[in-house]
Amino acid sequence: MHATSTPATAHNHYDSQGFVTRRAWNTLQPISHLPFDVVTRIIRFLADRDPAGLVAIPGGGRRLELGWIRPATHVYSHWRNCALNDHALWARSACEVPTKQIFDVLSDRAGSMPLVLSNLRRWLLVEDVTSGSPVVPEHFFSTFTRAESVQLALRPIECSRVASLLSVADASLSLRIVHLHARPDATDPDALLDNYWPKEYSPFETPSKSNIEDVLFSSFFIPIPTPNLISLRLFHKKERDWVPNTSELLAFISSAVRLESLWLCHWNSNPSLVPREEKLTMPRLAELVLVGRRTELHTALARHLVCPRLKTVHCDSVVGRYFHPHTHALERRDVLSSLQVSDAEFDQASCFFSLKVTANTVDVHMGDFSDYHPEDIARPPHAELASSPKIDQSIATYRPRYLSTYNASALRSRSAFYFRIQSTPGDDLDTRSSRTLHWIVDAYAWQYTDRLCAVTTLHLGTYDPPRPIDWPEVLAHFKSVHTFILNRDHPAASREDGPIAALTRSVFAGTMLLPQLHTILSDKKTPWRAVDVAALRTLTKARARCGAPPLRVRPLRKSDGRPEILQYYANLLPT
């Protein structure tokens, strides 16, 4: 026993020597000489992906894991120095640890840097929150005046307390971002819920001064000062005595003269209170998002708001009472113009245009959608058609942690809106979809000729058996299209009433349609019928004789990227 034992002093000496050796070796590695800004970006990425906090262990129980802290501070001395000097890192990460003692240590490392207080990650971990228990750590409340950003899920018992803290002048001056989600049951984070506010609620006085810029309320509302408000997002509200009615909400919005982003998502207010004749000008509004089933409210707001600097519009949905034979063309043009990006903000560099029409719905995209795959927009409509998949996914699944703060530089010049067409007596359903498609293209051509001429990717479709579309009349407006989406709901290539036949006839008539076309995206089943392949090859040869770019066909569906499918399309047309 004595022969195999190592004296404590020797053991410590061995460990210290090994530590010194490892540190010396680490110092020589290239990763130890990265610039400060590169190292801090890496560490912040690690902090977001692997936060410190309590984690479940097999067999039950919790243990504290340091997550990113250990690799950032215990491997390379250079990294440790970078981490300790990045005060914003600790200000953002301290809230991830629910233990007050560790929170105090980490927040002290932030120095004078304002803190970020967020419990959203912990709240989304179902096993870490007991149903009905408070979800905001007690030490958060005592540090409100040090916080720059507050992103909290709240129980009903916590709503009033947070509201009272926000009414304190010191908190209102330090805060820039306030995202509050009132939730009755943390075990069901995906549910879309009503308001849960204590019955003893009484309005708080609004501070006269405030630096709050970004506000998101879900199932929750309190008066907030608006002088510096830039972004306002309201989710999931039903009528209650303590929330503003439509008139009060409009008055509240009108006082936010610096507002750039407005979201009303499942926000159920009374559309009859929106003035029909008066207009509300929002001089700086760049982003407007209206989502939910209250189509009358969206219609009224779209007509009421005047936004000269609008850059991004997402409206799902409005009532399409404007698309029937008795509606004057000027009225159709007026409602379309209220859902468009302003001319000064419109970017024609990469313009996508998609128009999908059924007997009862219209779905329109126009602008820069380069961050989407074409299939996401051109896919056939379904029961709950989403006019912007990414936005609707965040709202429908209700993952508040992924609803990031407003970022003006991330806005793209585009509009997306969805009409639900109201039927009228005597309306011919068999011709409604193709007729509506013509009306909308005509309205765009009358008001936005330059935009249609700038379109580079085009998708037009009707998904009910319609009367034939006058393809020459429709396609004549699009001079710059180089990519045309031909999906399964279009007539076959060999059909005389389809777009391929119309393109071929235009070449033989000496009036070539889509003169810049070089790519067709298709989701039609492979292999194609011989007559359809022959029709497409006839078009290709005719255009080639007139000096047009050679055509190629590519799969539309992301799932069709298999080598054999790509090879089939590559061999479809002669080179």
**30-63: pLDDT as tens digits:** 777 788 888 888 888 888 788 877 776 777 666 7
Instruction: Say if residue 393's pLDDT is above 60.
Output: no
Check residues 402 and 107 and name the one with the higher pLDDT.
107
Burial degree of 347 (CB within 10 A; 0-12, 13-18, 19+): middle
Q: Which residues pair with 287 in a beta bridge?
A: 261, 312
**Residue among 492, 553, 560 at smallest CA distance from 520:** 553
Instruction: Confirm whether 66 is domain-assigned.
Output: yes
Instruction: Confirm whether 70 is domain-assigned.
Output: yes
Instruction: Confirm whether 37 is domain-assigned.
Output: yes
Mean pLDDT value of segment 457-474: 83
| Beta strand residue intervals within 175-292, DSSP E | 177-182, 214-218, 231-237, 261-267, 280-281, 287-291
Contact 359, 462 (CB under 8 A): no
Contact 455, 352 (CB under 8 A): yes
Neighbours of 185 (CB within 10 A): 13
Rounded Cα distance between 445 and 439, Å, is 10
Is residue 287 very low, low, confident or very high in pLDDT (cuts 50, 70, 90)? very high
Rounded Cα distance between 539 and 574, Å, is 11
149-165 per-position pLDDT tens digit: 998 888 777 877 888 78
Contact 140, 171 (CB under 8 A): no
Instruction: Confirm whether 111 is domain-assigned.
Output: no
Instruction: Say if residue 146's pLDDT is above 80.
Output: yes
Is residue 269 very low, low, confident or very high in pLDDT (cuts 50, 70, 90)? confident
CA distances from 295 to 273, 275, 422, 540, 546 (A): 14, 16, 11, 45, 48
Check residues 65 and 472 and name the one with the higher pLDDT.
472
For position 133, what pLDDT does the model report? Answer: 63
Write down the pTM of the prediction. 0.82
Token pair in block for residue 349: 């560099």
Cα three-residue angle 150-221-246, rounded to 5 degrees: 140
Range of the domain at 21: 11-54+62-88
Instruction: Confirm whether 227 is domain-assigned.
Output: no
Average predicted confidence (pLDDT) for the chain:
80
Number of folded domains that form the chain: 1
Instruction: Confirm whether 78 is domain-assigned.
Output: yes
* Amino acid at the residue 51: P
Task: Express as a percent the part of the chain with pLDDT over 70.
Answer: 81
Rounded Cα distance between 334 and 357, Å, is 19
Rounded Cα distance between 575 and 236, Å, is 55
Instruction: Say if residue 200's pLDDT is above 70.
Output: no
Instruction: Confirm whether 289 is domain-assigned.
Output: no
**Residue among 122, 177, 112, 176 at smallest CA distance from 154:** 122
- Structure-token match 């033989």, residue found: 508
Token pair in block for residue 535: 């029709």
What number of H helices and E strands is found in the chain?
21, 19
